[in-house]
Amino acid sequence: MRFVVGFSFAGVYVVAESWMNDSATNETRGQTLSIYMIVQMAGIVAAQVVVNFADPSGFVLFAVISIVVSISFAPILLSVSPAPVFRTSAPMTLKRLFKTSPLGLVGSLLLGGVFSIMFGMSAVYGTAIGFSVAEISIFIGTIYTGSVLLQYPIGWLSDRMDRRLLIVFITAISSTILLVGLFWSNSFYVILAMGFTIGSSTGPLYSLLIAHTNDYLEHEDMANASGALVFVGGVGAIGTPVVVGYSMTLFGANSFFVAMIVLMLLITVYGSYRMTRREGISVDETMSYTPVLPQTTPIVAEVAQEIAIEQEIESEE
């Protein structure tokens, strides 16, 4: 059932984002992308509240989801405008991507693992430590809220300093906070703070890795690279929940946070290593930071690239 739902929702996202991209103009594409991300995140956070209205193991919530998704397609099905053609650029080869931006590829691979743990195992973790349904929903909602709130502050910083240094700083600080928090992990509020920390660091980090990769690419290659980064993140996300699930069974529920600490520290170490291998790009020559949510498909990633390119061209003019 999980496999079928995952496959189906991938199709839902592709259709919705293709329609959005086809309907937007060059003047409205940036606003459309921002509104889309706000609405998507609002729906995710609201869903955590809905979980409290019925037994999660029963039929009611599944029926509600089915009805809501079906209703959401009514405007499209009743529309007389032609359906958009699905278009996406062919992904850049992984060999070329690694040669162009090693930190972008390796960071996306490791971050994909963090995302799969954070989004896929957070409810399992809450259940394992005895959280109620309400507490689990608050915990997950806190993670998503954190991923939104620090997008723009970190984006502002990334346009004014070496992005590699910012990546190293974010992963090191968040790992340290999580490690310290483990000593007080019997407190609900400390766990909420840990959830907020991992959400607020990994959400912007995804956009930051894309922006860092763009710094080493020509405009015409950015869309191709974004598709490759999404693919690499997906590869990193496949196996980690299995490993973390076994670790939580063998060593306890805190393996949930330990696994994310390890992956974030690996990004810290590799980012620090890359800073010794080549000089950073001047801030004046870097591409603009464009917020992108990790739940999006290559379509939105490419739209974000188009917006970044347009902003860069406008600034040059």
Lowest mean pLDDT among 148-157, 218-227, 263-272, 290-299: 290-299
Question: How high is the pLDDT of residue 90?
Answer: 59
Distance between CA 55 and CA 30 in Å, rounded?
40
Q: What is the mean pLDDT of residues 129-137?
A: 90
| 10 or 196, greater pLDDT | 196
Considering the chain, what percentage of its residues have pLDDT values greater than 70? 80
CB 253 within 8 A of CB 125: yes
CB 226 within 8 A of CB 303: no
In a domain, 116, yes or no: yes
Q: Which residue do the tokens 């009514």 mark?
A: 74
Question: How high is the pLDDT of residue 152?
Answer: 78
pLDDT at 34 over 70: no
pLDDT at 26 over 70: no
Question: How high is the pLDDT of residue 260?
Answer: 94
Distance between CA 233 and CA 247 in Å, rounded?
22
* CATH code (residue 185): 1.20.1250.20
**Tens digits of per-residue pLDDT, 207-251?**
888 888 878 877 667 767 777 887 888 888 888 888 999 999 999
pLDDT at 89 over 60: no
In a domain, 82, yes or no: no
| 247 or 317, greater pLDDT | 247
pLDDT at 159 over 80: no
In a domain, 1, yes or no: no
Residue in 308, 271, 92, 107 with CA at minimum distance from that of residue 202: 107
In a domain, 241, yes or no: yes
Tell me if residue 253 falls in helix, strand or coil: coil
Q: What DSSP string runs through 203-244?
A: HHHHHHHHHHHHTTS-GGGHHHHHHHHHHHHHHHHHHHHHHH
Residue in 300, 306, 305 with CA at minimum distance from that of residue 15: 300
In a domain, 77, yes or no: no
Q: What DSSP string runs through 6-50?
A: HHHHHHHHHHHHHHHHHH--TTTHHHHHHHHHHHHHHHHHHHHHH
Residue in 210, 46, 211, 233 with CA at minimum distance from that of residue 144: 46
Question: How high is the pLDDT of residue 81?
Answer: 66
In a domain, 203, yes or no: yes
In a domain, 12, yes or no: no
108 is in which domain, residue-wise?
89-316
Question: How high is the pLDDT of residue 11?
Answer: 78
Q: In the chain, how many domains are there?
A: 1
**pLDDT, the chain, mean:** 82
Task: Give the best-scoring range by mean pLDDT among 15-19, 125-129, 231-235, 307-311.
Answer: 125-129
Q: What is the mean pLDDT of residues 50-77?
A: 84
Task: Give the best-scoring range by mean pLDDT among 48-62, 64-78, 106-120, 139-153.
Answer: 106-120
H helix count then E strand count, the chain:
14, 0
